[in-house]
Structure 1
Amino acid sequence: MIEKLTDLPDGILGLRVGGRLTPQDYEDVITPMVAEAVREGGRMRCLIEIEDDFSGLTPPAVVDDVRLGLRTVGSFDGVAVVSDLGWIRTPTQWAAFVVPFPMRVFPMAERRAAADWLAALPAEARIEVTFDETAGVVTAEVSEALRIEDFERLAATIDPWMREHGELPGLVLHVRRVPGWTSLGSLVRHIQFVVRHQGKLGRLALATDVPVADAVASVADHVLHPQIRAFGYADLRAAQAWAAGS
């Protein structure tokens, strides 16, 4: 059994799940709801309330679940799972480390807190990218925990220029504090980004007030290809000028 929740804040999709899910549940409720959300806004915040009598999915429903997940995994801004079932809560907490979006588990008593958490998630990208093509310097303004999409956004700016011109002269990371990652998947994508661009970047400037930035830059400058230097968060222009080779 599955039904759509209607008492949630605007912009949040809600489902109440109980009993045993069948392909008919997906056809009647889930698939149309997801299709409508993607068509209207492209991004989803979803609250899933799982009742104590939930007993899983029939085998055909498992297939539908996998197919739907593969098609929509990149369309979520966040998912809140509300349940008191231990066999739901524990696997979901582990899954939160690998999905490419924020996901949290709440007990039934904190359903309102789950909705508030979803509503408070940042609506915009965690990383804003600007590119001075004349100087060949990309500035990445990082404000929140990083998602997989943020590295895709950065790569979409850098990679075409590199294919045409070769080495990128400079990259500036403007970061007030250590942002972290929304999931293990985001961390893996970060590592992949660094490895793929190693040797193709001339200078990396860290414009940040993070206390260990100077030490990190000093050590990294000896082991990585790009020259690396730390600047204060307020010294963005100086960082950009250095990254451009001025």
Structure 2
Amino acid sequence: MIQFELLRDQAVLVLSPDGPIEQADFERIAREVDPFIASHGRLAGVMICAKAFPGWDSFGALVSHLRFVRDHHRKIDRIAAVTDSELLKIMPHIAKHFVAAEVRRFPFGERVQALAWLEAAR
């Protein structure tokens, strides 16, 4: 499951997976984020905070995740992966081939620095 918070003043979406990602997670996130993007045009950034990658609970969850990325990546300026996970450390190198946003990794303890970097995109 993904916990999330939309920091409206900063135009930043914070995602914190705390268990296997579920298909309904992206539906909940889209219900909150899509109206914001419709009225503001885009997000300055998305911060993904995860000590480790929890995986998906089903194939449907993976498809929902990919669909969410496809539908939103052009409306996001930057993505910060805040993690010490070995798997997620390589995310910026992989993501740059699939998303329009600039992607950067920060160590798990550097959430404040990651937020500052995301806000600088505004």
TM > 0.5? yes
Tell me the equivalent position of 2:44: 169
Tell me the equivalent position of 1:206: 81
**CA distance in structure 2 between the partners assigned to 1:150 and 1:224 by the alignment:** 20
Question: In the alignment, is the contact (CA less than 8 A) between 1:143 and 1:176 conserved in 2?
Answer: no
**CA distance in structure 1 between the partners assigned to 2:98 and 2:13 by the alignment:** 22
Mark the CA change 1:211 to 1:170 in structure 2 (over 3 Å): closer, same or farther. same
State the 1:216 CA deviation. Answer: 2.5
Question: In the alignment, is the contact (CA less than 8 A) between 1:214 and 1:229 conserved in 2?
Answer: no
Gaps of 5+ in 1: 1-125
Deviations 1:51-71 (A, max 9, x none): xxxxxxxxxxxxxxxxxxxxx
Q: Normalization by structure 1: what TM-score?
A: 0.47
SS at match of 1:177: coil
Tell me the equivalent position of 2:117: 242
Tell me the equivalent position of 2:8: 133
Tell me the equivalent position of 1:58: none
Report the residue type matching 2:26 in the other structure: F
Tell me the equivalent position of 1:3: none
**CA distance in structure 2 between the partners assigned to 1:223 and 1:129 by the alignment:** 22
Deviations 1:49-94 (A, max 9, x none): xxxxxxxxxxxxxxxxxxxxxxxxxxxxxxxxxxxxxxxxxxxxxx
Q: Normalization by structure 2: what TM-score?
A: 0.90
Aligned length: 121
In the alignment, does 2:14 pair up with 1:142?
Answer: no
SS at match of 1:191: helix
Report the residue type matching 1:129 in the other structure: F
SS at match of 1:199: helix
State the 1:163 CA deviation. Answer: 0.5
Question: In the alignment, is the contact (CA less than 8 A) between 2:83 and 2:89 conserved in 1?
Answer: no
State the 1:220 CA deviation. Answer: 2.4
Q: Percent identity?
A: 30
Tell me the equivalent position of 2:100: 225
State the 1:164 CA deviation. Answer: 0.5
Gaps of 5+ in 2: none
**CA distance in structure 2 between the partners assigned to 1:224 and 1:191 by the alignment:** 11
**CA distance in structure 2 between the partners assigned to 1:198 and 1:133 by the alignment:** 18
Q: Which has the higher contact order (CA 8 A, sep 6+)?
A: 2
